[in-house]
A and B are shown apart, each in its own frame.
Chain A
């Protein structure tokens, strides 16, 4: 097979991705202008501004121009990486996001690694095993999925920070302060990951290649690890979009509970204070991230599963 279909596929997907990001930016822009009440009044806060003040701020921010002109300059600024100016933080939104992204990525990465390690272990141990074992694991997964993250966080704080004083209750300095937030964030993922992995492994274990591998003398655990697990990971990759969403919305809650710095905290503060440029900026950035992840997922699925390549090309 030549590379041409692959490149055409990539170009098409990139084009669609740009459209989705543009759409997200447009939705944010429209929402911005649907706000009941005058955004300039929201910006000026509690003080009651004189009409002159209002007109002055409006002129400075360009709110007195026709809406299509505003939309045009909004898009133009977007392409040059300018996401506007935060009302509350009094700094450019792009700098605010740039500063706050690393701690959130750190938290998300720690939670993801933890969740993967635990659920791979659980799935390898329980897939296709005795009903009792699977029942217990299934019950734990149900509880892990149904328990809201904010409650888990508060419970962990109660016992590990306030009773046992093992970990700090607040802050984002050092490894110790990362443990509880990462565990909290990971817990919701573990339930879902384990279910998906186990279902995939059980499908794979029923395949003839497992039997033939066992017949050649490969041990039970080795077959699970080397053959069944690889098949089970594919549906997990397909969940990446959901995972990114869970990590991002989880970080909004968890960074608030543990008073950590990060993008989630910025979002929570911006929503409460109706700091719309920040919301718009985060929306655009997360749409870009989400699009890249789904692009990666599709590319990866094509690499792993050659049948998809022919279907699309």
Chain B
């Protein structure tokens, strides 16, 4: 299920995380540097750029008014399907609505769906995974076989099935994607939890006479989950694409809510007139996914570099 990311080892110059000190060593002199605060020293420029894009996206999701004061659903039929201009940076759609404002205001729903879905998968997968690892062989076997069955619904199919049951809509699309990502997370958490349970500090806790529930909650759960938070950042990208795919098919947010996938689906009918409607919403999705993949990949590498091998 896991798709390899393009961030190869060859991209990261020097040992990441190793240069915390401010002293300019010989290695630092060779490395190309951007003037950045201490905490970000040694982070490659392309990761910083991707991080900057993510900050802008987060701001647009939280306060769209910062970037555009044009209301996203202000209709102006006279100015329909115009190309980009100084007045309408990204042009206008078939109803003359400002495309830039709609892309900005669409951030919250489009990115929110992906983040929400990942969060849901993380919560459900962690609960099921820790349960499988902690509740004995029968429970473990049942949970794992259910995961196998759910993972036999390839790609988007499981999410599509959930939407078919729940019906279309923003929340339902996020739930559908979250559910479809859950089996993968469950298997990972279970693997981690199994490792942690065999570790010395858990054995020590057993020796001290701590109860099962307490050990599972205080020791197994936090230690099994920490590596997954980093992995989750990588999967947000895939979840954003899945979310816009559903809304492109008309199964996500319903009109007139601005959403990147739905905007593309609308724009597709007017391609012969205006190219702008087809370009900008997709560019927003792609920029988001690339940035998430780059930053997530870097975090994962850095995190795993500082840890003993996970081994699952």
Q: Which of A's residues lie within 8 Å of B, judged by CB?
A: 19-21, 23-24, 26-28, 31-32, 34-36, 131, 134-135, 138-139, 141-143, 145-151, 154-155, 157-158, 161-163, 169, 191-192, 195-196, 199, 241-242, 244-246, 248-250, 252-253, 256-257, 267-268, 270-272, 274-276, 279, 282-283, 286-287, 290-291
Contact = CB atoms under 8 A, between A and B. Distances in A.
A49 B83 CA distance: 49
29 contacts: A19-B145, A26-B149, A27-B150, A31-B165, A135-B10, A142-B6, A145-B6, A146-B241, A146-B286, A147-B286, A147-B289, A148-B289, A151-B282, A154-B271, A154-B282, A155-B279, A157-B268, A195-B4, A195-B6, A241-B154, A245-B154, A248-B154, A249-B155, A252-B160, A271-B163, A274-B164, A282-B157, A286-B157, A290-B152
A237 B102 CA distance: 42
Interface in B273-294: 275, 278-279, 281-283, 285-286, 289-290, 293-294
A286 B252 CA distance: 24
Nearest to A293: B154
Interface stretch (B122-130, B223-231, B242-250): B242-250
B217 interface: no
B166 interface: yes
A145 B250 CA distance: 23
A151 B264 contact: yes
Interface in B143-184: 145-146, 148-150, 152-157, 160-168
A276 B282 contact: no
A245 B6 contact: no
A249 B154 contact: yes
B157 A145 contact: no
Contacts of B166: 36
B178 to A, nearest CB: 16
B245 A150 contact: yes
Contact of A244 (B154, B163, B245, B282): B154
CB-CB nearest 7 A-B residue pairs: A245-B154, A151-B282, A249-B155, A245-B155, A23-B149, A142-B6, A249-B156
A134 B161 contact: no
B310 interface: no
B237 interface: yes
A48 B278 CA distance: 40
Interface string B205-243: 000000000000000000000000000000001000100
Contacts of A143: 286, 290
Contacts of B308: none
Contacts of B30: none
Given A195-B4, A253-B248, A272-B249, A157 B271 contact: yes
Nearest to B283: A151
Contacts of B1: 242
A74 to B, nearest CB: 16
Given A151-B264, A151-B285, A158-B271, A271 B251 contact: yes
A252 B249 contact: yes
Of B155, B264, B279, B283, most buried by chain A (CB within 10 Å of CB) is B155
A162 B276 CA distance: 13
Given A139-B6, A162-B271, A274-B164, A286 B290 contact: no
A20 B286 contact: no
B54 to A, nearest CB: 13
A191 to B, nearest CB: 7
A138 B249 contact: no
Contact of A150 (B161, B264, B275, B294): B264
Contacts of A23: 145-146, 148-149, 152
B160 A290 contact: no
Contacts of A272: 168, 249-251
Contacts of A147: 282, 286, 289
A282 B148 CA distance: 18
A245 B181 CA distance: 14
B245 A267 contact: no
Contacts of A271: 160-161, 163-164, 249, 251
A152 B222 CA distance: 41
A271 B286 CA distance: 26
B99 to A, nearest CB: 14
Given A271-B164, A272-B249, A272-B251, A248 B155 contact: yes
B116 interface: no
A34 B162 CA distance: 10
B261 interface: yes
A290 B150 CA distance: 12
B153 A287 contact: yes
Contacts of A28: 161
B29 interface: no
A257 B153 contact: no
Contacts of B285: 148, 151
A24 B151 CA distance: 9
Contacts of B165: 31-32, 34-35, 276
B278 A287 contact: no
B138 interface: no
B6 A268 contact: no
B11 to A, nearest CB: 7
Given A248-B157, A249-B155, A267-B157, A148 B244 contact: yes
A283 B164 CA distance: 12
